[in-house]
Homo-oligomer: A and B are copies of this chain.
Amino acid sequence: MAFNYPNGRHFDEANFNKPIKKSASQSNRGMSLESDLNSANQYYLTTNRAVIHKKPTPIQIVKVNYPARSAAKITEAYFRQASTTDYNGVYHGHYIDFDAKETSNKTSFPLKNVHEHQITHLKQVVAQDGFAFMIIRFTTLQETYVIWATLLFNFWDAQNEQRKSIPYEQIVKHGVRVPMGINPQAPYLDAIDTLINQL
């Protein structure tokens, strides 16, 4: 869900706890994969293909005002750390779970884009026989891939001994590219279908 301050300044939900020092282009890039996925999810929902939603950002509410005859207004609240990934749902009886990340890197996906709690959650999903993925967009290359979370785990678990990123070639080799679509723009379920059919 993209939103803006009343003055039109872009609010970057994914980077709320960092000082705003990024260029406008980087911020927009940060929202566009999310925006594409939200559109795709809406399309899949409308066409009865899947029921996948982005989870709301967890927020700790401290103060709420109840003005007469208008909506409750939250006047003090803080962002909380999520304990899961951002997206989950059901597709043809399969439990689907993923997070989505963008990198401007052209040769690898840096693991610093991923948080420990996301890995923990994706491993828990795999242990329950859910289908766990990571969707990665190389913004400079304008290429988007879906990989099994297990590929991510391999690199994550070895990052202290080996490299701290997943090489682009590995993602191309083991992942499936999301085709460029029109409606939806990022038909990522086509890539997930390919991965599932390879099982």
Residues on the B chain within 8 Å of A116, using CB: none
7 extra A-B contacts, CB within 8 A, seeds A71-B79, A91-B128: A48-B128, A53-B83, A56-B80, A57-B59, A59-B59, A74-B77, A75-B75
Stretch at the interface among A11-19, A100-108, A141-149, A172-180: A11-19
Question: A45-B124, A74-B74 are known contacts. Are A66 and B20 too (CB-CB below 8 A)?
Answer: yes
Say yes or no for A3: interface residue by CB 8 A criterion: yes
A64 touches B16 (CB 8 A): yes
When C-beta atoms are compared, the residue in chain B nearest to A124 turns out to be: B51
When C-beta atoms are compared, the residue in chain B nearest to A15 turns out to be: B72
For this chain, the copies found in one complex come to: 2
* Distance A50 CA – B51 CA, assembled complex (angstroms): 20
Residues on the B chain within 8 Å of A17, using CB: 71-72
Question: A64-B16, A74-B76, A95-B95 are known contacts. Are A56 and B55 too (CB-CB below 8 A)?
Answer: yes
Q: Please pick, from B6, B50, B90, the residue contacting A97 in the complex, using a CB distance under 8 A.
A: B90
Instruction: Tell me the smallest distance from the CB of A90 to a CB of chain B, in Å.
Output: 4
Say yes or no for A94: interface residue by CB 8 A criterion: yes
A6 touches B62 (CB 8 A): yes
When C-beta atoms are compared, the residue in chain B nearest to A49 turns out to be: B128
B130 touches A51 (CB 8 A): yes
Most buried by B among A78, A82, A90, A121: A90
B71 touches A78 (CB 8 A): yes
Say yes or no for A84: interface residue by CB 8 A criterion: yes
Instruction: Tell me the smallest distance from the CB of A127 to a CB of chain B, in Å.
Output: 6
Question: A59-B77, A72-B78 are known contacts. Are A11 and B90 too (CB-CB below 8 A)?
Answer: no
* Distance A84 CA – B42 CA, assembled complex (angstroms): 13
When C-beta atoms are compared, the residue in chain B nearest to A74 turns out to be: B77
Residues on the B chain within 8 Å of A60, using CB: 3
What are 9 residue pairs bridging A and B, where the CB atoms are less than 8 Å apart in the complex?
A5-B63, A48-B128, A56-B59, A73-B78, A74-B79, A88-B89, A91-B128, A92-B129, A95-B130
